[in-house]
Structure formats: C-alpha cells, structure tokens
Structure 1
Amino acid sequence: MKYENDQEMKTGIYKQAIEEAFLKKEGFVGDGVANTQHHGGPDRAVCIYPYEHYSLWAKEFGKPLPPANFGENLTVTNMLESDVHIGDIFRLGEAVIQITQGRVPCSTITKRTNHPFLLKRIIQTGFTGYLCRVLEEGLVRKDSQITLLESHPKQVSILYGNEIYFHRQKDIDGIKKVLAVEELANTWRTALESRLSKLTTGI
C-alpha cells in the first residue's frame, strides 16, 4: 500500500469479497496479516466490524469509506459493540466463533483512508469492531447467517471493555470486571493484569 508522499508499507488491511472461505483456528484460509505482533493469532482469528458505523463515518468525514475499510473479515449488522459481549459464542456458517476482545485500531486505517482523525475518533467512540477465536472450524459462505448460540453470563460488552482499556485506565473495579471474563484474549489479559498490578501494588 502507498500512502503519504508515495511511502510504501506492507499490510493485510485490503480485503476482497469472496463467495466462500474455510475458517480455521488461525483464521480464514487465504487471508493474512502483515504485522503478526499486533494482528492475528488464535485469539484474533476473525475481525468483525458493524456496518452501521460506515454511515456515521461517511457523514463525519464527508465521503463514504470503501467496503471492509477497517480490514475486517466480516461486516455485520445488528451486532454493535454495545450489544455483544466478551465470551459470546456465535455460529457462523459451519463454524463457531467466540468474541475475545475489542479491536485495537492501528494507524494503517488512517493511512488507507487519508482521514487523519479517523483513528482518534474510533478510539473516542469505542466503535472499534472486535476480534474472535474459532471454536469449531468450518466453511463460511457469503450468504451464511451469524447466529448467537450463547450469551456470556457476565455480560461485559465490547463497548465497556473498550472504555476501560482506552479511557478508564485507572479504574480498578472496571479492570477487575473485564478480567473476570475467563474467555478474554490473552493479549488484553496480560495488559490489564499489568495495569492492575501497578495500580494496586505499584509494581
């Protein structure tokens, strides 16, 4: 990808719509990430972004964003960050997935769209999308349904998790509430446990 002043970077953010793909534990066959330190892995195998946000960003920035602008594997409706929870389990075609964390957006989104304030606004609003692990592998088609199988009993929404992770970084009770969800992604668990330790012990 080229961005400002014809600078180049390697990225997996550009996605193309396809008719079907097999979803494995590591992600969709044929998909890939460039920065494996911050993207991908079993806890981040699937990236989901709510379709409803596209109209908000188009209105705010004065032009529509391209499909799969945020590098998501799935663009969904009626699954906002406020409505889904860490640990929720969904059937997706023949596969089964589980939400693990909110997505931590990176500067590639801004570079792709040339909207310098988009990344900041995503974090401000908490409209980040979210990531999932694969519990059961299977084929996913373009017209596959995504159906809730199990809503996590602790009901910690992605929007709440984003609020704690990005904005309320000294909220001890909030951090504990997020950490209480056993299904939380390991990267977020490590970061929040470290933050909690510093707040409670100074170490």
Structure 2
Amino acid sequence: MRAEATEPVRRIISVNVGKPITVDYQGKPLVTGIHKQPVEGPVFVGCTQMDGDGQADLKNHGGPDKAICVYPFEHYAYWEQQFGKKLDYAAFGENLTVMGFLENEVNIGDVYEIGEVVVQVSQPRFPCFKISSKHGIKEFPARVLDTGYSGFYLRVLQVGSLTGTSQVIKRESHPMQVSVASVLRQMALGRSQADPIELRRMLELDALASSVKDNFQAWLNEV
C-alpha cells in the first residue's frame, strides 16, 4: 500500500512587528518598515496589518493581500552560512518567522488557523531593494530570487490575536495546488520570459492576489 502523505509540523518561531524608521541607504535617507523586532505576548491582527506594525511604501507593501509577511525559519541556516554570522529573528522583515511552511509545499489559497486568526496564502513575497538596505548587500534581492527563499504573504479572513505559542492548524487546501514557489518563478521570469500556459493557469486562481493577476494578464495581453 502507498503511504499517505503526512503534513509537516507547522509552528510559529517568532512574532515580529515594527513601525517605519528612517535609515541611511547609499548616502540618502530611506524610510522603511523592514526593521521589525520580535515581540512577546498576544498581538492583534487586523485586516491589513498587525498591531504595532507599519509600512512606509503603501503602494507596494501592506493592504489586505499583504497583511502578514511570513518567512520560513528553515532558510536561516543557509543565509547565516552565506553571511558568516548569526541572524536575529525578523532578519528578512517578516511578521511571522515560521517552521513547516516552505514555498514549494505551501499553495496559494491554503487556509490556516493561527490562534484566533484565520489566514489565507495570497502571493509570494517579491524582494525589493529595501532588503538590501537592511543587510548592506546590493544584489541581495537577486540572490533571494535565485534561491527561491522568498517567503510569502497572508490575507486575513478572520481577525483576532495570536502569539508565538499559538497552535497552527491547516483548515483548507486549495484544490488547484499551485505552490508559492511556482508563482514566484513566473514573477521572477518577468514579462518577456514567463510561460503563457502557466500564467493562464494562475489567472484561474481565485485566491491569488489581484496585483499579481493584473501583472500576469498584462503580460499575456502583449503575447
């Protein structure tokens, strides 16, 4: 008999929040919310962000489809080896440092219960230059894309509070089974190289963030 696939053990490693601050980047002031810090105790999660958190660039960050940024703890060891130093939690500007949520195993539209909060996977995180400003490595976004170690975003279906010890329960698997990694791959390939067949399949994903779908549709319109 074929063994049944088992779900990975999923848990929260750290809950992280932070308001935007101004830092120096390449000799100029930069306002960014990427410098988050771990917090203890319950944190209320609203429809667009967590209490105590904030984004500087509301055009490209935050909002219902990017309410919570998640990053897998499993990737920390790789980056620590690359950087030659120990990394603190929230090293990638994530709200939740998690275990058991790898990008090639988590699907767009999957629904989880974390404490009182119900969330749905909405899109991959596409790294921008602000992660370079945090680590002082200009090519860091490209390195993130090369590895696929990007993390992803959650939308909030039910508001409430969570803590670093909150139980994580998978409530629903999306039937289309399109992984975060596969969507990120098309985003990274870009307008000229993305696969039209894959783009059309992803446009059928009801749970995929509208901004990503709009980009994919625009690329298809030019084919």
* 3-state SS, counterpart of residue 162 of structure 2: strand
Amino acid at match of 2:174: H
**How far is 1:17 from its partner?**
1.4
The answer for the alignment partner of 1:41 in structure 2 is: 63
Deviates more, 1:111-120 or 1:23-32: 111-120
Is 1:79 matched with 2:101?
yes
* 3-state SS, counterpart of residue 108 of structure 1: helix
Q: Structure 1, residues 139-195: CA drift from partner, whole Å, max 9, x if none?
A: 111211222111111000000111111126431111112111111101101101111
Structure 1: gaps spanning 5 or more residues? none
The answer for the alignment partner of 1:17 in structure 2 is: 38
TM-score, scaled to structure 2: 0.85
| Alpha-carbon distance between aligned partners in 2 of 1:29 and 1:134, rounded to the nearest angstrom | 13
Q: Structure 1, residues 71-125: CA drift from partner, whole Å, max 9, x if none?
A: 1110001110001000000001101000010011111111111123321110112
Structure 2: gaps spanning 5 or more residues? 1-21
Contact 1:25-1:134 at 8 Å conserved across structures: yes
The 5 Å alignment of 1:1-203 reads: 1-4=22-25, 6-18=27-39, 19-167=41-189, 169-199=193-223
Amino acid at match of 1:7: K
Amino acid at match of 2:84: G
**How far is 1:58 from its partner?**
1.1
**How far is 1:132 from its partner?**
1.0
RMSD of Structure 2 on Structure 1 (CA): 1.4
**How far is 1:24 from its partner?**
0.8
**How far is 1:5 from its partner?**
5.3
Residues 117 and 62 (structure 1), Cα distance of their counterparts in 2 relative to 1, 3 Å cut: farther
| Alpha-carbon distance between aligned partners in 2 of 1:114 and 1:14, rounded to the nearest angstrom | 13
| Alpha-carbon distance between aligned partners in 1 of 2:140 and 2:89, rounded to the nearest angstrom | 16
TM-score, scaled to structure 1: 0.93
| Alpha-carbon distance between aligned partners in 1 of 2:62 and 2:26, rounded to the nearest angstrom | 29
Contact 1:82-1:159 at 8 Å conserved across structures: yes
Residues 170 and 17 (structure 1), Cα distance of their counterparts in 2 relative to 1, 3 Å cut: closer
* 3-state SS, counterpart of residue 54 of structure 2: coil
| Alpha-carbon distance between aligned partners in 2 of 1:192 and 1:182, rounded to the nearest angstrom | 14
